[in-house]
A and B are shown apart, each in its own frame.
Chain A
Amino acid sequence: MSQMVRSAVRSVLASRGRFLLTGTAIALSVAFLVATLVLSDSMRGRAASDIAEALAGTDAVVQGVSLGEPGGGPGDPVRSVRRSLDPDMTERVAAVDGVEEAASQWKGFAKLVVDGSPVGTGTASDVGRNWVANPEFNPFQLESGRPPTEVGEVVIDRSLADDAGVAPGDVVQVLTATGMHDATITGIATFASADAAPLERTVLLPDGAGSAWLDMAAPTEVLVDIAEGADRTEVLGQLSALSDAKVVDGSDYIRTMQNAATSPLQFLNVFLLAFAVVAVLIGVTIIFNTFTLTVARRRRESGLLRAIGAERRQVLGGVVIEAAFIGTIATLVGLVCGVAGVGALRWVVGLTGISLITGPSIVSPTSIAIAATVGIGATILSAWIPARRAAATSPMEALRESAAEPRVVSRARTASGLVLAAAAIVGGAVAVVSSNPVWLMLAAAIIPALVLCGPAIVIASARWSSPAARRAAGVSGSIAAGNLAASPRRSASTALAIMLGTAMVTMFAMFASSLTSAVGTDVHDGLQADLVVTSATPDFSTIDPTLAGRIAEQPDVDAVTALKKTEGIVEEKAQAIGGIDPTALPTMFDLDPIAGDLADLSSGGVAVVGDDPSLLGETLEIEFERSTIEAPIVAVVARSTGGFEAPAYFVDAATLEASVGRLLDAQVFVDLADGAVADAEEDVSALVRDTPGSFLATREEHVASSGSEIAKFGNFIDGMLILASFIALLGIANTTALAINERSGEIGLLRAVGASRRELRRIVQLEVAILSFVAASIGIAVGAGYGWAMIDVTGGAEIPAVIVPWLRLAVTLIVAVAAGVLAAAWPAFRVSRVPVLKLVSGDS
């Protein structure tokens, strides 16, 4: 055994170049995987433990019945919508037998404003909540100062205090649903031991500020402490019997809060994980290729050994030991690089504009274990499969057979692949027609279909490209095309890596462009007003409702109209509902009605954003926290007012306020008189500047800023494209090097009959270019098809139309082919330098 190990090590050292490449592939995959896992742990782990610590003292929570849950994707509301509690719920809870204490928890919108400018940017939401007197219940702890006691005093979290550079005693302003309020900071608090609650910026208010500032009639939740010795289940049962409320056990509550804190990052995690999986797949492909060839090369030698009496195990066990050796070393390197590279990944993710928790990276043993298992396991498996196959052939067969793999592809394999592909296409079609995402699972069968059809695709593309290649590059062209088909399985696995990578990038690109179009082009195409006043954050309205009237009084202002916004439940999903003046708004923002008449909103109708005119006349039910409206659909509009949180439904502003109470304005559109001078704009600007929570933008500025969020998402995709291409690059370099090694005899012959070095290089590069082109085209087509089905089925009102980003797809194709040719350049260069005779004798 030890001799076997020694000879395995020697063999690795002997073919250093090949194994260096394999090792790099393994290490990179492992590094990418571990970095992703660590990042997602760091994003969720810290938040989860903070929440668990902060809420540890709460035994149970009474909250309003849930009306709809948040979506989790970009464009979906981030909070769940609940029916309000009874205003006296806290007293009723406290009166229940076995309840030691009950405390009201008010939670609404509050934004800290210091010297006229709002504090904090990024994804976190601005939260105002009351300071709970009992420290048992209070998730916040005072770090300095004292609790707020009367309305007008606030405590802020440490991260806000650091951002704004304020300290207890400072006078600030707080913007809430009832407008701008002056406040004095009395203290700084931490959330458990963290600077802030996960993804929240919190302003803590005294009791009594709940109704005055947060504009709420009743607490959001009642926190419950169950008396010691009381029967817990019994108490929970009694609490549930209270009308119109939902009782949640303390531990369930913590879990829900943990999920809520991490769910906005969920889609990012899914993206990252998808890329990590592709990276690992590409890595595995490379390893598998290398070992298949290693085994094939030794086939004759091992046939000889078998013929003189060596056991199978003795002959091929060495290969597996070799794999374990390389796998282990490469995995260790990968783990180290991955942990060190989390920073780089953070940077890529940072391109999205999502501000991640800046805490330390959490390297959990699970992440390490998963990545190590994948790294070492994939390597050994990749060696074991071909080794077993080789060991199963008889010695004489092994001696006789050439090392090259068979050129024929099993019909059954291709046929089953085609069946799967057909099933995938049907699945996608059914999903689109029936709008049922479950069918998308069937559409995912396209991946095994590609695996199965790969060799046939390679052979077909070799055949079809041959005439074109011949015309373009003469005999080098036909040799290049022919080489593809020479080892269809290996070419296919390179192709698969490229297909998966490009499909992934294409899907994200489709997603981004459709979202951009939904968000960006709506504003670009619809906005006609000269000026737009916007709120401090897109997901909460902060404009003083009197501002619109004051702007209208300015000279040279032609017309002014406001957009109000709130959340409501339509068909069990939380949706943004807009309130507009149906006669004034269309003159400033063209919603592009495709059916019905917006004017009918004033008689209590509702307009829906969509592309299906037949919705007209149906009755729609919208549930709000305190009421429900039922209204006929009187108009279908093709466009909303733009932005991530744009309404999916519109009603008359008066109808909306009648249902939910007074609302601040989300946006105010201003039309200046024709020929108005800069003075007019300056007048409006001065008014807006004096009104906290409102910000002025010209049409051009507003159009630009509504696209910028998405542009960042595009950056993220580009970053991922670069990472994916880098790994695919290695794969191509490796496969090409292997293929060249295997064909050294033929290449030597070409040199001997007078092919120049340039011609050799051209053959190799052409071959890779054809393969990359075909694979990338298929990958892009598959990604576009799947992405289209997915967006169409799950996009809903946020992404009403699928937009194909032709330019980005073209760039992806070009990058994939260029990356392939670039990757092949090095092995091509190497082979062109090898002396002719060395190639002919095949001992390169």
Chain B
Amino acid sequence: MGLPYKRQSGSALLANSDDAAAMLDGAVKRYGSGESAVVALDDVTIAFPAGKFTAVMGPSGSGKSTMMHCAAGLDQLTSGRAFVGSTDLSTLDDRELTKLRRERIGFVFQTFNLVATLTVKENICLPLTLSGRQPSDGMLDQVVSMLSLGDRMHHRPAELSGGQQQRVAVARALVARPQVVFADEPTGNLDTRSGQEILGYLRSAVDKHHQSIVVVTHDPNAAAWADHVVFVVDGRVHDVMDSPSADTVLDVMKGLGR
């Protein structure tokens, strides 16, 4: 831990702002107990601003996934609080959390993103159908045409390429117009071009629909699509950066020993 803890004051990420799409406050996540305990999040306080594209970066094992899971209500914090909008997740029971996930959060995983037995269209509409809603045609069409999936709607996931599959997953995350979309290394398994495409779509969702998006990535070029970058090291927020470029991100990464 020889690195100085640099606080970049004035960044929207650290302001306890009321217009945060999601927020962690003093978040601690500990796995196991006693000698073998691992502290994956060590007192993290951060707000992901609404209508912005935030990238999360950091070495492998630094706690990025844990941060996403806890912020999205997929996992419980050991201490501290997680908010989506103004809702404190720790006050919700399983039923309310489930409802929150289907209505207010979109999630994209690195793999395991689609239900193999459903068609592309059914997969995209899944969060809506689960809550008994119909997709508004306009939104579905917009998302589908934005992600160029129009001619694939009645295919099964197995009939699509990896890049197409991730596009379906992104469409599913966007279609319900959730308050915030979390994506954990959505491009990790893709070639550079498909990866860039995905990030481009996410970017345009932010620009066109004021969607709030948080993406974990290892790629400085990917981070350059973002409005803000959060650097995580050993379970702590090491640095934040506004309006990043590939070069400035790479510099910080080098500083982290990468």
Contacts and interface: CB of A to CB of B under 8 A. Distances in A.
A479 B116 CA distance: 9
Interface residues of A, number: 28
Interface in B77-117: 94-95, 98-103, 105, 107, 109, 111-117
A481 B116 CA distance: 12
Interface string A447-483: 0000000000000000000000000001100110111
B122 interface: yes
Contacts of B158: 407
Residue among B107, B115, B118, B122 having the largest count of chain A Cβ atoms under 10 Å = B115
Contacts of B125: 475
B118 A479 contact: yes
A840 interface: yes
Contact of A746 (B75, B95, B99, B116): B116
A837 B117 contact: no
Nearest to A481: B117
A759 B129 CA distance: 12
B244 interface: no
Contact of B112 (A482, A745, A756, A759): A745
A753 B112 contact: no
B69 A837 contact: yes
B74 A475 contact: no
Nearest to A483: B117
Nearest to A748: B112
Nearest to B173: A753
Given A754-B102, A754-B131, A837-B69, A749 B109 contact: yes
Nearest to A836: B74
A751 B100 CA distance: 11
A475 B125 CA distance: 10
A497 interface: no
B38 interface: no
Contacts, number: 80
Interface in A739-794: 745-746, 748-757, 759
A750 B112 CA distance: 10
A753 B182 CA distance: 11
A749 B74 contact: no
Contacts of B98: 751, 754-757
A842 B110 CA distance: 13
B117 A759 contact: no
Nearest to B158: A407
B101 A475 contact: no
Given A754-B127, A756-B98, A840 B109 contact: yes
Nearest to B184: A840
Nearest to B182: A752
Contact of A753 (B75, B107, B116): B107
A486 interface: yes
A611 B172 CA distance: 68
B95 A756 contact: yes
A50 B122 CA distance: 73
B69 A753 contact: no
A300 to B, nearest CB: 14
Q: Is the interface of A mostly helix, strand, loop or mixed?
A: helix
Given A746-B112, A748-B112, A753 B172 contact: yes
Nearest to B125: A475
Given A478-B122, A746-B112, A757-B94, A752 B130 contact: no
A755 B130 contact: yes
Given A753-B102, A753-B107, A756-B95, A475 B118 contact: yes
B74 A474 contact: no
Contacts of A475: 118, 122, 125-126, 129-130
A753 B103 CA distance: 9
A326 interface: no
A728 to B, nearest CB: 25
A574 to B, nearest CB: 61
Contacts of A745: 111-112
Contact of B75 (A486, A755, A837, A842): A837
A746 B129 contact: no
Contacts of A482: 115-118
A755 B118 contact: no
A746 B130 CA distance: 15
Contacts of A749: 109, 112-115
A485 B117 contact: yes
B169 to A, nearest CB: 9
A836 B115 CA distance: 15
A837 B65 CA distance: 11
Interface in A525-576: none
Residue among B99, B109, B114 having the largest count of chain A Cβ atoms under 10 Å = B109
Nearest to A466: B117
A424 to B, nearest CB: 32
A596 B103 CA distance: 81
Given A749-B113, A840-B109, A840-B112, A754 B130 contact: yes
B107 to A, nearest CB: 5
Contacts of B75: 835-837
B115 A486 contact: no
Contacts of A755: 98, 102, 130
Contact of A754 (B103, B113, B114, B122): B103
Nearest to A838: B75
B50 to A, nearest CB: 21
A748 B125 CA distance: 17
Contacts of A751: 98, 101
B166 to A, nearest CB: 13
Given A753-B102, A755-B102, A755-B130, A478 B112 contact: no
B145 to A, nearest CB: 22
Contacts of B172: 753
A752 B118 contact: no
Interface in B127-175: 127, 129-132, 158, 172
A126 to B, nearest CB: 66
A397 to B, nearest CB: 18
A478 B118 contact: yes
B179 to A, nearest CB: 13
A450 to B, nearest CB: 24
Contact of B130 (A478, A759, A840): A759
Contacts of A757: 94, 98
B27 to A, nearest CB: 16
Contact of B117 (A486, A756, A842): A486
A479 B117 contact: yes
B186 to A, nearest CB: 14
Residue among B99, B100, B116, B172 having the largest count of chain A Cβ atoms under 10 Å = B116
Contacts of B112: 745-746, 748-749, 840, 842
Contacts of B116: 482, 486, 746
Interface string A826-844: 0000000001110010100
A840 B111 CA distance: 9
A753 B105 CA distance: 8
A15 to B, nearest CB: 21
B130 to A, nearest CB: 5
Nearest to A755: B130
* 4 nearest A-B residue pairs (beta carbon): A754-B102, A482-B117, A745-B112, A754-B101
Interface of A: 407, 474-475, 478-479, 481-483, 485-486, 745-746, 748-757, 759, 835-837, 840, 842
28 contacts: A407-B158, A478-B118, A481-B117, A482-B116, A482-B117, A482-B118, A745-B111, A745-B112, A746-B115, A749-B113, A751-B98, A751-B101, A752-B74, A752-B101, A752-B109, A753-B107, A753-B127, A754-B98, A754-B101, A754-B103, A754-B130, A755-B98, A755-B102, A759-B130, A836-B74, A837-B69, A837-B75, A840-B112
Given A745-B111, A754-B101, A755-B102, 14 more contacts: A475-B125, A478-B122, A481-B117, A482-B117, A486-B116, A746-B112, A749-B109, A749-B114, A752-B109, A754-B102, A754-B103, A756-B130, A757-B98, A840-B74
Interface of B: 69, 74-75, 94-95, 98-103, 105, 107, 109, 111-118, 122, 125-127, 129-132, 158, 172
